[in-house]
Amino acid sequence: GIDKTRTKLTAFALGATWAGMVGVIFAAKTTFVNPASFTFLESAIILCIVVLGGMGSIVGVIIAALVLILLPEYLRAFSEYRMLVFGAVLVIMMVFRPQGIVANIRKTYRVEEG
C-alpha cells in the first residue's frame, strides 16, 4: 500500500517549496515585504477558493481559483459587492455542499483495497 504519512509529508514539502519560491520572487519584485503587503481581501479570496473547491480536491481548488480570480474581472461593475458575494457563496457552499464543487471525482479515483 501507499504510506499515508510519507505522502502527506511529501505533499506538504512540495507545497512549502512552491510557496517559498513564489515568496522569493515576490520579495525580489517588490524589494520590501511586510505584513501590510497582504490585505484581508487576499486571505478571504484564498479561504473562498479552498471552501468552494473542497478541502482535499485538487481539481476542485483549481477550478475554484480560476472562477474566483477571473470572475471579478468580468464583473467589474459590481466590485463594491464583491465581499458580500464571497461571503454568501461561502455560507451557501458550507451549508449545501461542504465537500466542494467536484466532490464526486474523488470517488472515481479511490483505490479499493482487497
Distance of CA 40 to CAs 14, 23, 46, 109, Å? 26, 18, 10, 35
- Domain check: are 28 and 83 in the same one? no
Kindly state whether residues 92 and 70 are assigned to the same domain: yes
Q: Do 30 and 47 lie in a common domain? A: no
Residues 10 and 65 in one domain: no
Question: Contacts for 32-41 with beta carbons within 8 Å, 24 or more apart?
Answer: 41/83
Q: What's the count of helices (H) and strands (E) in the chain, helices before strands?
A: 5, 0
- pTM tops 0.85, yes or no: no
Domain membership of residue 23 as a residue range: 1-35
pLDDT digits (tens, 9 = 90+) for 83-111: 787 778 778 877 887 777 776 555 555 55
Are 51 and 100 in the same domain? yes
Domain count, the chain: 2
Q: Are both 62 and 93 inside the same structural domain? A: yes
Same domain? For 65 and 97 the reply is yes
Contact between 44 and 83 under an 8 Å Cβ cutoff? The reply is yes
